[in-house]
Structure 1
Amino acid sequence: MPDNFSFQNADPEVADAVPGVLEREISPLEATGAHWIAPSRAPEGAPVLRGTVELPGRPGRAELLVAGLGLHAVRVNGTSVAQGALEPAISDPRRVVWYSRLAVTDLLGTGTNTVEVTLGAGFCAMTTPNAWRWEQAPWRGPRMLIAALLADGVTVAVSDTDWRWGEGPVRFDSMYEGQSYDARMAGAPVDSPVTVAERPGGRLAERRHEPVAPGAQIAPAWRPCARGWLGDAGRVIAGVACYDLDLAEGNRVRIRFGETLDADGELVCSNEHVYTGRFQTDEIIGVGGRVRWFPKFAYQGFRYLEVEGLEHRPGPGEIVAVPLEQQVAPASTFACDVPLFNDLVELTRRTVLNNLHHIPTDTPCYEKNGWTGDVLVSLDTLTGLFDLHRLLVKWIEDIVSTQLPDGSLSVIAPSPGWGYRDGECAPAPEWTCVLPALLVHLAEVYGDPQPARQHWGACRAYLDHELSRLHDGLASSELGDYLAPGYPLGPPPEDSRLSASCFLFRALGQGVELAAMNGDDDAARRFRGAAARLRGRINETFLDRHDGCYRTASDPPDERNGGYRQTSNLMPVAFGIVPDQDREQVVATIIDDVVARGHHLNTGHIGTSLLLNVLTDAGRADEACTVATGTDEPSWGHWLQLGATSMWERWDAGARSHDHFFLATVTDWILTRVAGVQRIGGDWSRVRVAPGLVPGVNRAASTRRTPLGDLVVEWERGGPVHLVVPQGMTCELGGENPATLGPGDHRL
């Protein structure tokens, strides 16, 4: 077997980050007797593997079970099979490989039938050098597949050495660089022998979360540009372009993608974290006639498309933009009489959908990484908009797969071995504390305690790891309140021991909850004691009782006395760290600072997720509303004034990414405080409805999907309140006529 057919273990320590790989169960796909197979030599492009099967007649029901690493695209008898995009879902293949179950009944017939699978690189066979070292992943391996065809429940064909392979028209593919398609190679011979490949090591499991699928096509508006033609899709999307072009033989057309334009109106298409001269670029070579191509092995984040090498302006249907979207169901509806709030909710929905591709990502254009901290601050926003139950269960598997023997987790999941050490945005508890938060969230919001049981050992090991890192009783971090105003490079100036310790304190409290769920009394006792000690050290080190605020020695001086930092005070208030006797004064300093800054936030991703809720819950919903409706920098309204069609990565006009949800947490405030709907305690058994909580909002209507059923809340200030409360839920109605309501349709 050629050397390139063994999985690499470039970093022995990181290579051990595969808890659970010895849990071996035989999957239905493996039980068929199918083999992992691969080309007998390294392919030059995306290889095409083909098998045949003789059938006496069309079966009543036929399914193809298939997993192709890194990505697979399937054709049966020459027809593309409807499947989810970008499958199999990204994972650490040493722990799990997700296979697809495809319905192929209507594509089969009597006699000889062909099954053809083209294999893209994905992240498993990445070759593009990049900042996160995906091309050096310890689990990086060859392109290979396993497949079985079932007819009426009987296995009739499996991947084995009878299959053949050949080069196909996809000559190059990279998640970061794009794809190259040579139409002259379509129909090239598929007659070379395959070899049995070394299995990846992880278990084979059927994908259970929602697939990624193409959305409605968008016809770009075209105009001339310096290189040829520039198309505007009208909004930022994550997806591909679909092509139907008449090209002469050898004619080469390049299509580059980007979210923004430069000062001259030309496309911005570059990425300092991808170490090649190519980025988000498709290339098509004609054969003399029509070329129809739907790219399958990469996707881009873009609003604009630049076409080079096409003599005429693209005509109708020749180049269209196609979003690729995770098929998650909406979890809510919302509308109110403040247009800005409706717009912010809609922009957040778009942004979240653009960043769901089998994992939650932080930018579909520049990174495509599963940054844990982005989700940690956005959990309520994300699950308030979409039903992410199954996707988050899958992503927890990715997070746990990054765990090293010492209990540490990577800041991105899955991880190619990056995100653990100094210089790799790590350690950062404000990111990796996502594990206990997710386990509690799934149990409370979705009523699903199973992940908490399954991954309690990993969670406990992680919390113990963080406790082992304490220095002088405090946690530490490389990141902190990321991308606060005035700090475009990322970390803010304040001592990140404060944010790291606050997040660890909250995580330890979640650890106590999880330990109780699992009957682990020893862990509950240890984590409860550790949390109390950590709380004490935070207050001893950072609480200035004279001024009633939290400070660090590295707070920047500014025109206001002492360089007050909003996030440094929001975290202790929101997480229950402030001593009772100091809480009122600390909250007052937050309000004073917001007012002194002209009713502006001064927060990065952490503080932004807390500010509006803290203000509102402290009885200053008026200040929260003033901040939320601002239109000068820094504000969400300022983005809209600059033409934003999705949420941005930074507050300033020079933001790199225009498709980032970690500053979009205003939407959680809108869905809870503006709509007036909040859970009391953990689960949905009790909710609080507070109509008219936020001044300036006079009418709102919302629906929230819960495990108990849909909760409907409609109200008008000074007018009627309409509630539909599902079975199993009690609603505490606030306002002028408070009441406790049980299940039913109530009009008050």
Structure 2
Amino acid sequence: SILGNGFYNAFAPVATWSFEKARWRNRASMISELHITYKDNTKDIIISDSTWKVSSSSPYVQNNIYSGDTYDANKEIDGWDKPAFDDSMWTNARIMNAPSDRLVAETEPVIRKIKNINPISLKSFGDTVFVYDFGVNMTGGCELKIKGEKNTRVEIQYGELLKPNGRLEMRNLDIYYKPLPGLAFQTDVLILDGKECVFTPRFSYKGFQYVELCSNRPIKLDETNVTALNFHSDLKEVGHFSCSNDLLNQIWKAANRSYLSNVMSIPTDCPQREKNGWTADAHITMDLGLLNFDGIRFYEKWIEDMIDNQNSEGRISGIIPSSGWGYDDWIGPVWDAAMFIVPMALYDYYGDKQSISRIYSTCERYLTYLATREDIDGCVTYGIGDWVPYKTQTPTEYTTSCYYYLDNLYMAKFSEILGYDGSVYKSKAKRLKDLINNKYLDSRKNIYANGSQTSLAIALYLGIVPDGMEQKVADNLYQTVKGNNGYLDFGVLGSKTVLRMLSKYGYADMAYQMASKEDEPSWGAWIKKGFNTMPETWTLSPEFRDASINHMFLGDINAWMYNVLAGINFDPNNPGFKHILIQPHFVEGLDWVKGEYNSVKGFIRSEWKRVGGSIQLEVEIPINTTATVLVGDKTIFIEGGKHKFNF
């Protein structure tokens, strides 16, 4: 084995998130068991102990999770991993204390190489600079096959953009990076020994579409010398969507690419600049994740990280895991709501209450803490709200109040699911709902807060609007969007709620118009600019100093396509798809839609197309389930199997 640092031993100053100060930080160590089965079926177990031999000499002279690996081929030790190797000069391993009192086996899907990707183009700048384009933004690293003069230094830098002259553009990434001497951001270094070398970084991963190789001496390279290795947590694909509008198909693919780029043992925000488990990024994209990939074990592991992350006050940090950073007031309850939303989603999609049971006491302590932060009105108002809005900022005290309500509402549901008395949480949720409506609802105009797209959609989405007023608020949402010529004007919370609430209350055509826009601000504008993953902001500054090109948190439009256009939905009263809600919307501008989802109960398909002046809908649901088909004012109950309808 070769040991590297990873996040366990991140060293400063290479990023802004203080991982060099982490309580766990130490030299790399290992524990292992080698299980051997001999030809006669006898077995042996060899455990790591002080009889093992180690050497500090290695061609990996340094490695850092944010910068990269430095490999000196001159220091390779021939045959070190072969049985006949003479290790007499190596020292015995030292017994180390365990990094934690709890050593828990990894149960989530492993990070593995998913595929090799060949470059689609190569541009050389003389014989020392080469820029490769791999066609798609991804996570991973590159395999380099190269031969050159001894001690030639080759730097391999990874990025998402190109400058007008064709060289690598790094300004959107290294804004957060504080370099150590000799280390550049997202850069591997290879020192040649004069022989042919095959190099792959082992201890870092990057986010990239382009790779620039620079050498201090002339080298010869072509398209065959470099291969991208795309890797991430190996989640099984369970969903697929397509329709007659190829722009939507490309948006769907881009959202999936960004999602997969950010499943690296934890749900991260971006795979290059930060690599952090931002809590809201994860809970906003739960539907996107679970409709496309089997994520139960992945999120179960992260829920354990949440439990570990809670401090003595009851707070959790904005990034999980955390080195100790992120428990600040500026982050707050909208982000913290991940501890409620993530386990609830696992229950809705899988019918599994284990995660709710595991995190219940953590949620109890958190709500006890939040009660100490209530203002004179009895509400909590601090923290981030509708992050990265296009223009209009929804008041953060309003969105925080709404999510404080959601926390208590979900806690009451958790209690009911587990058979506990949740009356105190149910009462608190009702009181908060009344408080929000008294404070933020203009009942004459039927608008919330400042009347932004997000403020109206959030109240509808979370069920805060008083009974009987929902359609009036939804009508105002429609008028607000229509008054903006069908363009979006929201941030991350609006990206989750506006399309959904327009669709729910009779304005699916307007939602589709918004979803299929091609100029800024829109998802389609990103595609038209040539991006194949989802940027961090709706528009990028000319200086490229403000955003990564591979964030997932604005990607719920992908799940909206399944839920609204194809109409595949879980029934909250029958978790785990025991009963299925099929509610497609035949929006003007689409000729056909096809959605497929391999649920925990089996295969679900909803497919419709226009034939003449009518709609043909085909639905397939698992034999062991039932479903309700909802189209306009028609409600049709069906049992498992294949069904055809005409509307």
Q: Same fold (TM over 0.5)?
A: yes
Give 3-state SS (helix, strand or coil) of 2:604's partner: strand
Correspondence 1:711 to 2:604:
yes
Deviation at 1:517, TM superposition (A): 2.2
Correspondence 1:693 to 2:586:
yes
The equivalent residue for 1:565 is 452
> Contact 2:145/2:225 (CA < 8 Å) preserved in 1?
yes
* Equivalent-residue separation in structure 2 for 1:690 and 1:530 (angstroms): 33
Deviation at 1:207, TM superposition (A): 2.1
Give 3-state SS (helix, strand or coil) of 1:643's partner: coil
| CA offsets 1:652-705 (integer angstroms, 9 cap, x no match) | 033611111111111111011001222232421222223443222231222111
Structure 1 segment 499-578 matched on structure 2, within 5 A: 499-521=399-421, 524-551=422-449, 564-578=451-465
Correspondence 1:236 to 2:133:
no
| CA offsets 1:86-120 (integer angstroms, 9 cap, x no match) | xxxxxxxxxxxxxxxxxxxxxxxxxxxxxxx1111
The equivalent residue for 1:194 is 93
Determine which of 6, 11, 29 is the counterpart of 1:127: 11
Determine which of 10, 30, 44 is the counterpart of 1:145: 30
The equivalent residue for 2:564 is 673
Deviation at 1:265, TM superposition (A): 3.3
The equivalent residue for 1:47 is none
Correspondence 1:343 to 2:250:
yes
Give 3-state SS (helix, strand or coil) of 2:228's partner: strand
Correspondence 1:365 to 2:254:
no
Give 3-state SS (helix, strand or coil) of 1:580's partner: coil
TM-score, structure 2 normalization: 0.91
Determine which of 289, 295, 320 is the counterpart of 1:388: 295
* Equivalent-residue separation in structure 2 for 1:721 and 1:294 (angstroms): 50
Deviation at 1:480, TM superposition (A): 0.8
* Equivalent-residue separation in structure 1 for 2:233 and 2:107 (angstroms): 13
> Contact 1:173/1:297 (CA < 8 Å) preserved in 2?
yes
Correspondence 1:451 to 2:355:
yes
Identity of aligned residues (%): 27
Amino acid at match of 2:209: R
> Contact 1:248/1:288 (CA < 8 Å) preserved in 2?
yes
> Contact 2:334/2:383 (CA < 8 Å) preserved in 1?
no
Correspondence 1:305 to 2:190:
no
The equivalent residue for 2:365 is 461
Determine which of 640, 643, 646 is the counterpart of 1:746: 643
The equivalent residue for 1:725 is 621
Deviation at 1:540, TM superposition (A): 2.1
> Contact 1:409/1:432 (CA < 8 Å) preserved in 2?
yes
Deviation at 1:493, TM superposition (A): 4.4
Deviation at 1:649, TM superposition (A): 0.7
Give 3-state SS (helix, strand or coil) of 2:12's partner: coil
Deviation at 1:366, TM superposition (A): 0.6
Go from structure 1 to structure 2 and tell me whether the alpha carbon gap of 1:256 and 1:700 turns closer, same or farther (over 3 Å shift): same
* Equivalent-residue separation in structure 2 for 1:339 and 1:272 (angstroms): 35
What residue ranges of structure 1 are gaps of 5+ in the alignment?
A: 1-116, 487-491, 553-563
The equivalent residue for 1:285 is 191
| CA offsets 1:432-476 (integer angstroms, 9 cap, x no match) | 111111121112211211111122111221222222211122212
* Equivalent-residue separation in structure 2 for 1:316 and 1:263 (angstroms): 22
Go from structure 1 to structure 2 and tell me whether the alpha carbon gap of 1:154 and 1:463 turns closer, same or farther (over 3 Å shift): farther
Determine which of 478, 481, 506 is the counterpart of 2:386: 481
Determine which of 331, 336, 340 is the counterpart of 2:238: 331
The equivalent residue for 2:336 is 432
Give 3-state SS (helix, strand or coil) of 2:514's partner: helix
Deviation at 1:268, TM superposition (A): 2.1
Q: Higher mean Cα deviation, 655-664 or 298-307? A: 655-664
The equivalent residue for 2:83 is none
> Contact 2:50/2:92 (CA < 8 Å) preserved in 1?
yes
> Contact 1:673/1:694 (CA < 8 Å) preserved in 2?
no
Q: Higher mean Cα deviation, 379-388 or 255-264? A: 255-264
Determine which of 47, 59, 66 is the counterpart of 1:158: 47
> Contact 2:453/2:477 (CA < 8 Å) preserved in 1?
yes
Deviation at 1:192, TM superposition (A): 2.4
Give 3-state SS (helix, strand or coil) of 1:729's partner: strand
Q: Higher mean Cα deviation, 574-583 or 171-180? A: 574-583
Give 3-state SS (helix, strand or coil) of 1:725's partner: strand
Determine which of 486, 507, 514 is the counterpart of 1:627: 514
Greater relative contact order: 1 or 2 (C-alpha under 8 angstroms, separation 6 or more)? 2
Deviation at 1:719, TM superposition (A): 4.4
Give 3-state SS (helix, strand or coil) of 1:362's partner: coil
Give 3-state SS (helix, strand or coil) of 2:94's partner: strand
* Equivalent-residue separation in structure 2 for 1:485 and 1:402 (angstroms): 32
> Contact 2:58/2:77 (CA < 8 Å) preserved in 1?
yes
Amino acid at match of 1:201: S
Determine which of 179, 184, 195 is the counterpart of 1:276: 179
* Equivalent-residue separation in structure 2 for 1:373 and 1:477 (angstroms): 15
Deviation at 1:571, TM superposition (A): 0.9
Deviation at 1:240, TM superposition (A): 0.1
Give 3-state SS (helix, strand or coil) of 1:479's partner: coil
Determine which of 116, 132, 142 is the counterpart of 1:217: 116
| CA offsets 1:522-562 (integer angstroms, 9 cap, x no match) | xx11111211121122122222223321125xxxxxxxxxx
Deviation at 1:154, TM superposition (A): 4.0
* Equivalent-residue separation in structure 2 for 1:679 and 1:145 (angstroms): 43
> Contact 1:474/1:497 (CA < 8 Å) preserved in 2?
no
The Cα RMSD (Å) is 1.9
